[in-house]
């Protein structure tokens, strides 16, 4: 009872001492200056982003998030270029990524009417809200000086600004984690179920953005038990725990029910956990993202997930929902970890070293290269290693404050120590939650504010030493130098990613229809790294479309040699071979691509064309049928299949009625000379010779100087139909060649070198 009275007295004195009083005029002016600096920085960075082609066509996961948000906001689910025609099934499968950020981004999308710069501006505005929260929380926890210093460091930290300018949920996690901090401070002061429920709800919201946040839930329960014991109110523990759990469950319930409805499986947030775990734990894992998932191919972006699942289905011989497939892969990852304990320990060590190290590890973003290329970001002084070094000094300073009598009222006020312990536990839990997966700069952004809080404490201690002219100034200054020097030592190095930076820029120029700029970017990528496989693939595409067949063949050959399991490179290599008339090699290339991407209807259609040119009509029919099974409105496959069903010399291959149905569907969307020719042949095979003549006349009425040879053939076939005879195709089919018009694809993701 005496201890409790003493704590209440201390808290009362701190309020009289002024650290919880209303902000002074000088403090408010300082905060306003900080916010103005923050606004200026954001304006300058928005100006940089405005000149980047990636603003409209963000790469990899950012493009996927933008597609998702656009679909939610407008109900327009048209696939972007980097989807390669694959529908990821967002509306029909369990969430393949956490949905929280996508829904928030959809709301912002509607607010700014989809303007790309507006999306970033709103996110940056929320970043300033985080700065204000940091100031307010900091002054309540440790005094006005710490609050102002914390806000200033938040504005000067370049990774926070960088990720606010991207299409990712890092800024949202930062905001939610600061809100949770404020709630935990209230809970530490007054342990009631109301504050506990609020904290549980916010943790649930964080889990909707990054499910790793759920790992903090049991830690938070243990922390709550410690708090109520210190307050002498153990009877509040269970009401608080139940309230927090219920609030978190209520937040997650709509997502869980939605996943249950579409797949019939309990998936609280998203089903990508098992796939991501397998991504980080297989024979080719390196501690960071390598894009490889072993014999299942390349996991370069969410767009390729359908192909990975299809590959797994072929292996198991049955259909799989995404949730089930991810669980199978998660089980394989755990088995691999159990059978390779030594390798797993090495991977864990690499992940830990990269997580806390000074290098910016690329994943969805080439963070280090982006900073070097930014006139603003490279001038901003505070990054992750500086924040970490300052936090270590700040931790020592807090220990000194705890022992210093004059500062007893500052650190021992109700709720302060408990909140600081909670923040320390959150930082450690967040780090541990990523150890089984792989390291990436994106994953550590959420703990940056709390490292900056420690740095703010260290700066305040140095400032006090200067003001009071204490001899400790030299000690604190030396500690800063030593700590920051140590945190800048890369015990495990990661490639800064300049080659990938140029490649991503080139990819955006491709989507902007500026091939010259794209080619220059791809060449710069190859100058940085001659073995950069995606750049070879991208440059090959530009050269092929520009008519440089030999140049395209060289770069596509290099791309397939560097990454044999990349289906895009294999299909592009096959495409240039087909352009050269090397049909057998082209067919082998498309089949190889389909081993790793069996859902691609274009490549099945192209394989059918190659087989038809080689005289393998049965193989061509199988390929066209598979293409239509993958995409029932595939025009080339439908037209070519209808032609074979109508004109094949083999009686058992012909099916006039089905040929008519397919051809009519094609003509309904594309009434061209070749497609009308196919419909006329189908009608003749079905015995409708008068209709065949009418359609042939309709085809011949289409002016098309590029198809004079085909017009002559249609004229000859019309004469057959007029005499009641169907057309039979000779061994080499010209119709398939006319439909061979699939463009080269570009995409993929480069692994970070270490």
- Of 108, 22, 61, the closest CA to residue 289 belongs to 61
Q: Encode burial over 656-693: b for 16+ CB neighbours within 10 A, e otherwise.
A: bebbbebbbbbbeeeebbbbbbbbbbbbbbbebbebbb
CATH superfamily of 497-602+741-754: Tetratricopeptide repeat domain (1.25.40.10)
Enumerate residue ranges in the chain where pLDDT < 50: 1-19, 407-408, 733-741, 748-754
* List of residues 6+ apart from 137 with CB closer than 8 A: 147, 150, 178, 181, 182, 185
**pLDDT for the residue 729:** 83
CATH number of the structural domain 616-731? 1.25.40
Task: Count Cβ atoms below 10 Å from residue 437 Cβ, excluding itself.
Answer: 22
**pLDDT for the residue 411:** 64
pLDDT tens figures, 465-474: 887 766 777 8
Burial zone of 369 (CB within 10 Å; 0-12 exposed, 13-18 middle, 19+ buried): buried
How many helices (H) does the chain have, and how many strands (E)? 35, 0
**pLDDT for the residue 1:** 34
Q: Outline which parts of the chain fall under CATH 1.25.40.10.
A: 497-602+741-754
Structure tokens at 143: 């005094």
Question: What is the C-alpha separation between 103 and 95, in angstroms, rounded?
Answer: 12
Question: What is the C-alpha separation between 275 and 257, in angstroms, rounded?
Answer: 21
- State the greatest distance between any 2 C-alpha atoms of the chain, in Å, as a whole number: 113
Question: What is the C-alpha separation between 31 and 146, in angstroms, rounded?
Answer: 12
Structure tokens at 457: 């404490």
Q: Helix crossing, 498-511 with 533-545: angle to 10°? A: 30
Angle at 735 between CA 79 and CA 86, to 5 degrees: 15
- Of 427, 423, 4, the closest CA to residue 223 belongs to 423
Structure tokens at 415: 């709720």
């Amino acid at each position: 009872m005496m201890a409790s009275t003493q704590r209440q007295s201390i808290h009362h004195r701190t309020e009289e001492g002024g650290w919880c009083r209303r902000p002074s005029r000088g403090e408010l002016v300082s905060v306003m200056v900080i916010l103005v600096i923050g606004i200026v920085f954001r304006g300058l960075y928005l100006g940089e982003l405005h000149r980047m082609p990636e603003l409209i066509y963000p790469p990899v996961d950012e493009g996927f998030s933008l597609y998702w948000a656009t679909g939610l906001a407008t109900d327009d689910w048209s696939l972007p270029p980097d989807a390669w025609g694959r529908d990821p099934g967002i509306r029909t499968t369990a969430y393949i990524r956490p949905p929280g950020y996508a829904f928030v981004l959809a709301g912002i999308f509607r607010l700014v009417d989809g303007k790309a710069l507006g999306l970033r501006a709103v996110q940056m505005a929320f970043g300033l809200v985080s700065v204000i929260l940091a100031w307010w929380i900091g002054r309540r926890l440790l005094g006005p000086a710490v609050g102002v210093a914390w806000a200033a460091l938040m504005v000067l930290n370049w990774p926070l600004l960088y990720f606010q300018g991207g299409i990712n949920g890092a800024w949202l996690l930062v905001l939610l984690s600061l809100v949770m901090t404020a709630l935990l401070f209230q809970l530490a002061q007054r342990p009631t179920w109301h504050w506990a429920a609020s904290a549980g709800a916010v943790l649930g919201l964080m889990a909707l953005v990054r499910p790793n946040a759920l790992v903090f839930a049991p830690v938070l329960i243990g922390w709550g038990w410690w708090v109520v014991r210190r307050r002498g109110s153990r009877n509040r523990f269970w009401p608080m725990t139940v309230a927090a759990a219920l609030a978190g469950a209520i937040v997650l319930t709509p997502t869980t029910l939605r996943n249950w409805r579409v797949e019939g499986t309990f998936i609280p947030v998203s089903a990508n956990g098992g796939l991501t775990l397998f991504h980080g734990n297989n024979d080719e894992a390196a501690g960071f993202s390598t894009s490889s998932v072993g014999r299942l191919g390349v996991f370069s972006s969410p767009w390729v997930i359908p192909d990975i699942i299809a590959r797994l289905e072929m292996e198991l011989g049955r259909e799989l929902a995404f949730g089930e497939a991810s669980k199978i892969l998660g089980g394989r990852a755990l088995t691999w970890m159990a059978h390779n304990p030594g390798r797993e320990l090495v991977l864990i060590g690499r992940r830990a070293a990269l997580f806390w190290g000074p290098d910016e590890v690329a994943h969805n973003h080439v963070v280090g290269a982006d900073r070097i290329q930014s006139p603003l970001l490279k001038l901003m002084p505070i990054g992750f290693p500086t924040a970490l070094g300052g936090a270590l000094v700040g931790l020592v300073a807090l220990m000194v404050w705890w022992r210093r009598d004059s500062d007893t009222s500052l650190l021992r006020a109700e709720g302060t120590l408990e909140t600081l312990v909670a923040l320390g536990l959150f930082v450690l839990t967040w780090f541990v939650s990523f150890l089984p997966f792989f390291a990436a700069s994106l994953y550590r952004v959420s703990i940056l504010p709390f490292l900056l809080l420690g740095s703010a404490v260290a700066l305040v201690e140095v400032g006090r030493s200067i003001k009071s002219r204490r001899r400790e100034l030299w000690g604190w200054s030396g500690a800063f130098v030593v700590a920051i020097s140590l945190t800048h030592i890369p015990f495990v190095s990661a490639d800064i990613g300049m080659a990938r930076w140029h490649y991503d820029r080139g990819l955006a120029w491709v989507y902007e229809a500026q091939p010259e700029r794209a080619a220059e970017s791809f060449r710069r990528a190859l100058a940085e790294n001659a073995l950069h496989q995606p750049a070879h693939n991208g440059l090959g595409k530009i050269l092929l479309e520009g008519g440089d067949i030999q140049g395209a063949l060289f770069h596509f050959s290099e791309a397939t040699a560097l990454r044999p399991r990349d289906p895009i490179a294999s299909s592009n290599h096959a495409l240039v071979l087909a352009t050269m008339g090397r049909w057998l090699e082209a067919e082998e290339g498309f089949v190889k691509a389909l081993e790793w991407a069996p859902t691609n209807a274009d490549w099945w259609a192209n394989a059918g064309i190659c087989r038809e040119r080689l005289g393998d009509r049965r193989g061509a029919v199988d390929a066209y049928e598979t293409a239509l099974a993958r995409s029932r409105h595939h025009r080339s496959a439908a037209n070519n299949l209808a032609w074979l069903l109508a004109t094949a010399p083999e009686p058992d291959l012909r099916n006039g009625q089905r040929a008519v149905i397919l051809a009519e569907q094609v003509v309904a969307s594309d009434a061209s000379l070749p497609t009308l020719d196919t419909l006329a042949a189908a009608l003749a095979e079905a015995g409708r010779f008068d209709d065949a003549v009418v359609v042939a006349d309709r085809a011949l009425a289409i002016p098309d100087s590029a198809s004079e040879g085909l017009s002559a053939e249609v004229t000859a076939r019309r004469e057959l139909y007029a005499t009641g005879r169907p057309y039979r195709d000779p061994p080499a089919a010209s119709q398939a060649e006319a439909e061979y018009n699939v463009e080269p694809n570009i995409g993929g993701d480069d692994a970070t070198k270490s």
